[in-house]
Structure 1
Amino acid sequence: MKKNFRKYSILILTVCMGLQACDKGFEEMNTNPNASATPTPAFVFTKALLDGSGDVLNLLQGTMQYTTSYNDVAGFGAKYILSQSQQSWTVFNNAYPKEINEIQQVIGQVSGSPDQVNLLSCARIWRIYCFSRVTDLYGDVPYSQAGKGFESANYKPVYDPQQAIYADMLKELDEAAAAIDPTKANFGAADLIYNGDMAKWKKFSYSLMLRLAMRMTKADIALAETWAKKAIAGGVITVDADVAKVSGYVSAGQDINKNPLALAMLNSDYIGANGSSNPEGGKFQDVFINYLKTNKDPRLGVLSVVWVGGKADTTAATQKGMSSSLSSKPANFVTYSEPNPATILQLNSPYLLLTNAETSFLLAEAALRGWYSGASASASYVNGISASMRQWSLFGAGGTISDNQIQTYIKYHSLNTAGTFASQMEQIYTQFWVGVYPNSQEVFASYRRTGYPALVPNNYVGNATGGKIFRRFLYPATEQNLNGENYQATIARQGPDEFLTRMWWDRP
């Protein structure tokens, strides 16, 4: 008996020693050698910038009647096809696992250190930029508990009311801008927007604040005025050198390093560069091209070409937009206008986030409302037109518009200051429509808020909205399955998960 006990004791001891040995190597064996337990903030910040600017929305180019397609699938944005409604899930599905999760990691890494206050401010500002894009498309969304899965295992975040989201976003921008200290470290080359220039980050923060403030004019006019004045006093973008843009894209190599809008447009339609082999049947829409031609807009040749004899022709008389009512490829498809490969389709061109043109038009409205005394509504409106034309020079020699062309256009398109408030708003935001292109998401937001430009909806057969331009995107179906309780709560509060349901700042 003693022999057996001794034998089994030795066996158990040997097994335990073996298990200890296995345990010593277990952690190493189950660690991803390509991942880091403590991510480098600068690297993750760069990735968050690329992802946050990379989620482009070609479908809204159709909705705002810049482009269209005879193809029902590709033409969802211009035709609102019911069977293609799932295309509206994309931003929600991409934003949370990518840029929002990434920027939350950065904030976690740089918080609590006075020496890293600028890194934290940049991360907070970029976080608000990313969240503003999501809430402006869907309304109530996960916000206060979003991006917490990794740190607190919260995989079912609540949906915050958009009103509360806006209140916190504005607070965050205010605090982040105020905390900037030019004597402290910055992200330097990891900052693809301003290369570490904190004075410009402060202007970006206040300009984003102005954008969000003006968004609230229908929902809470007093609050909109308060925040607009605070943004203006803080200092917004008023010169071309301060434009917020992602630079450093290249024309070859990995796709993440290429201008995301140009890449998306090329891959979907225009890489053939012949005007006829467009896989998704895309062209510029007649509404946009007709407006540019009728108003003798010098941007027409910068933006648009028609392929004639295999060559890109920018002649104004040749340009022709395609109707969004088409349901099959027309025989004369090659004769319709499409984006200029020498400018907007350049893979190494910058991606514009918030421009001098946009802030100038917002300041024009602020002046019209009596909230801004730094320049008249007319002067800010003119600045918006001028800046919107100058900015195309960033896209290469083909984008240069002369001062003479700009002044001639302005001469015939001055703001009618004797007109009604509504008529002046229509002028401002029709020029906004042209001047902020290709930022179709921002134009979509200003259209829902102001009603301008006065676009005529496309009542295409099989559309999801009864022939009306939709007001929001649909939540992904996965939210109903994986976060059902919170999804149902927000539906009960905001309204049905439908295209025509209006979010907080878009209520009539």
Structure 2
Amino acid sequence: MKISKIISVFLLTTVLLFVFGCEDFLDVNTDPTAPSNVPPNLQLSGLLGTFSYEIIGNDPARTTNRWVQQLSWTGFPPSSDNYDFDESGPNNFWDSTYTRVLNNAREMEQKAEENGNPAYSGISKIIQAWTFAILTDLWNEIPYSEAFDPANTTPDYDNQEFMYGEIMRLLISALENLAEQSPAPPGNDDLLYGGDMDKWKRLAYTLIARYELRLTNAPGHTAENQANAALDALQNGFTSNDDDADFQYFNNDGEENPWYQFAIDGKWDTRDQLSAHYINLLQDLNDPRLSIQARPVGAVDNNGLVAGFDPDMVEYTGNLNGEDGGGASNFSSIGTFYSAPDAPLTWFSYAEAKFIEAEAIYITQGAEAAQAVYEDAIRASMDKLDVDQGDVDTYITSLSLLSVAMDPLEEIITQKYIANFLSLENFNDWRRTGYPELEAAVDAVTPSDQIPVRYPYPSSELQNNADNVSQTGVPVGFESLVINVWWDSAN
């Protein structure tokens, strides 16, 4: 079956699941969208498409990249740009994550095990681990152990330390599955890697490295131990940009890239533009990625792409977070590499893997030892964007050596922040390391004008599982946004 046909089937399946699933998103353990007797190939394509659109390319990346100031909302405040993000904000994401991603992933895992097809089970476990990591990184305590019991409409919450153990367990179990022979392995229904199980294995190992490094400041953990664990995992992780987890989209109605749909296409909204902080950072560094990551001012207005826009325009300007930007036409939009209708959405890149390695080597061996890997990470990012090699060399030469930098970690994380443009990982790294250094948005609504460090529990949980939400100790209101998650508690 051709990829385009698989995509069309996935989109039809997703639409049907959405239509029938909208009736009841009140209980996280109730699955109104679970397909019955769906063939594994359609289960897999539907799961990957939903995960990409709902989890990687949706609210978490958009909201948190406003908070870490790669993006800025150019409409009228208040908005999540100045932290006006209450319990209604994450409702759809929370509910759809449990009902349309996790429940369907678990069903695919169960059917794969019943049918003796471990490849599908392994992929399902990777998606589950990744999704649970995103949930617990945003909320800390989440329903897990009791979340999928249909008889329990008020599931208990599991703490983040326990969740990280489960995330690692799922990834290790996935690797065991992927090492087995499958009688009917995925092919074109695998919309990410086309059935290449070796790439799925390398992705799982690289995810393990990401999550090991996440716990560098977690209570009961040491940075050196976590860094060594990350380095061990990376020995089997990504080896080049060819391993990148890039999910392809198409220039057809309903099949477009999420950033195009949510930031460029006038049918939705165009007010997610670039932040002044981010534009200024790239300009200060003379970073050749600026013209790739950003469109010139005026390329997009409130109605979408501007017909007849002069492609020779080279002005790049961002909006100051929290300010009324007066609409899209005054600022730079997301570059076409990331926001063209048919642009792939990067879930995880080799460049990020190299930055993980660079940081881990810095922790365990020092700045000088990390230098070569740090430069490799920058090159991987620029090679992916097809930056001229001369410009790459000039840029790297212009940067301070880690061994003489005032703070080598700041240099590593700043470059990772640029390479991970639009990724949720920017928020996780900022919470974990404090980099990049940020000033709070204008007219912040949080206590003491603090930048948020978590999501508030959604109103659906406050209405239907209030006792368990209360036991987390997280209050209702903007105060909830400034309570650290477990692994961030040392900062």
Give the deviation of 1:200 after TM superposition.
0.6
Q: Which amino acid aligns with 1:418?
A: V
CA contact (8 A) 1:89 1:473 kept: no
SS at match of 2:89: helix
Post-superposition CA distance 1:396-423 (Å, at most 9, x none):
xxxx311111111111125322346xx1
Are 2:469 and 1:472 aligned? no
Give the deviation of 1:170 after TM superposition.
0.8
Question: Kindly tell me: are residues 165 and 325 of structure 1, through their superposed partners in 2, closer, same or farther at Cα, counting changes over 3 Å?
Answer: closer
Are 2:292 and 1:292 aligned? no
Question: Kindly tell me: are residues 428 and 306 of structure 1, through their superposed partners in 2, closer, same or farther at Cα, counting changes over 3 Å?
Answer: same
Aligned ranges for residues 34-73 of structure 1 at < 5 Å? 37-55=36-54, 56-57=58-59, 58-72=62-76
Give the deviation of 1:452 after TM superposition.
0.5
Query: Structure 2: where are the runs of 5+ without partners?
Result: 1-32, 300-305
Question: Kindly tell me: are residues 445 and 328 of structure 1, through their superposed partners in 2, closer, same or farther at Cα, counting changes over 3 Å?
Answer: closer
CA contact (8 A) 1:229 1:372 kept: no
Partner of 2:389: 403
Question: Kindly tell me: are residues 303 and 236 of structure 1, through their superposed partners in 2, closer, same or farther at Cα, counting changes over 3 Å?
Answer: same
User: Partners in 1 of 2:175 and 2:167 — Cα distance?
Assistant: 12
Q: Mean alpha-carbon deviation: is it higher for 171-180 or for 192-201?
A: 171-180
Q: Which amino acid aligns with 1:307?
A: G
Aligned ranges for residues 32-431 of structure 1 at < 5 Å? 37-55=36-54, 56-57=58-59, 58-72=62-76, 76-81=79-84, 86-113=88-115, 115-149=116-150, 153-181=151-179, 183-184=181-182, 185-219=184-218, 220-221=221-222, 224-225=226-227, 227-233=229-235, 235-247=236-248, 249-253=249-253, 255=254, 257-267=255-265, 271=266, 281-304=271-294, 305-307=296-298, 310-313=308-311, 316=314, 318-327=315-324, 329=326, 334-340=329-335, 342-370=336-364, 376-392=369-385, 400-419=386-405, 423-431=407-415
Question: Kindly tell me: are residues 281 and 53 of structure 1, through their superposed partners in 2, closer, same or farther at Cα, counting changes over 3 Å?
Answer: closer
Are 2:441 and 1:458 aligned? yes
Question: Kindly tell me: are residues 194 and 414 of structure 1, through their superposed partners in 2, closer, same or farther at Cα, counting changes over 3 Å?
Answer: farther
SS at match of 1:68: strand
CA contact (8 A) 1:170 1:209 kept: yes
Aligned ranges for residues 434-445 of structure 1 at < 5 Å? 434-439=418-423, 441-445=424-428
User: Partners in 1 of 2:460 and 2:479 — Cα distance?
Assistant: 13
Question: Kindly tell me: are residues 35 and 470 of structure 1, through their superposed partners in 2, closer, same or farther at Cα, counting changes over 3 Å?
Answer: closer
Give the deviation of 1:189 after TM superposition.
1.2
Give the percent of matched residue pairs that are identical in Structure 1 and Structure 2: 24
CA contact (8 A) 2:447 2:478 kept: no
Question: Kindly tell me: are residues 468 and 314 of structure 1, through their superposed partners in 2, closer, same or farther at Cα, counting changes over 3 Å?
Answer: farther
Q: Which amino acid aligns with 1:65?
A: Q
Question: Kindly tell me: are residues 335 and 490 of structure 1, through their superposed partners in 2, closer, same or farther at Cα, counting changes over 3 Å?
Answer: closer
Q: Which amino acid aligns with 1:132?
A: A
Query: Structure 1: where are the runs of 5+ without partners?
Result: 1-33, 273-277, 393-399
User: Partners in 1 of 2:322 and 2:480 — Cα distance?
Assistant: 23
User: Partners in 2 of 1:36 and 1:172 — Cα distance?
Assistant: 23
User: Partners in 2 of 1:147 and 1:120 — Cα distance?
Assistant: 17
Question: Kindly tell me: are residues 295 and 105 of structure 1, through their superposed partners in 2, closer, same or farther at Cα, counting changes over 3 Å?
Answer: same
User: Partners in 2 of 1:120 and 1:279 — Cα distance?
Assistant: 37
SS at match of 2:347: strand
User: Partners in 2 of 1:346 and 1:147 — Cα distance?
Assistant: 38
CA contact (8 A) 1:72 1:81 kept: no
Root-mean-square deviation (Å):
2.9
Question: Kindly tell me: are residues 344 and 121 of structure 1, through their superposed partners in 2, closer, same or farther at Cα, counting changes over 3 Å?
Answer: same
User: Partners in 1 of 2:460 and 2:409 — Cα distance?
Assistant: 40
Give the deviation of 1:358 after TM superposition.
0.7
CA contact (8 A) 1:61 1:77 kept: no
Post-superposition CA distance 1:463-499 (Å, at most 9, x none):
1343111110011112122122322223379x99700
Q: Which amino acid aligns with 2:44?
A: F
Give the deviation of 1:161 after TM superposition.
0.6
Partner of 2:28: none
Partner of 1:17: none
Q: How many residue pairs are counted as aligned between the two chains?
A: 441
Question: Kindly tell me: are residues 166 and 371 of structure 1, through their superposed partners in 2, closer, same or farther at Cα, counting changes over 3 Å?
Answer: farther
Q: Which amino acid aligns with 1:377?
A: A
CA contact (8 A) 2:193 2:199 kept: yes
User: Partners in 1 of 2:312 and 2:140 — Cα distance?
Assistant: 40
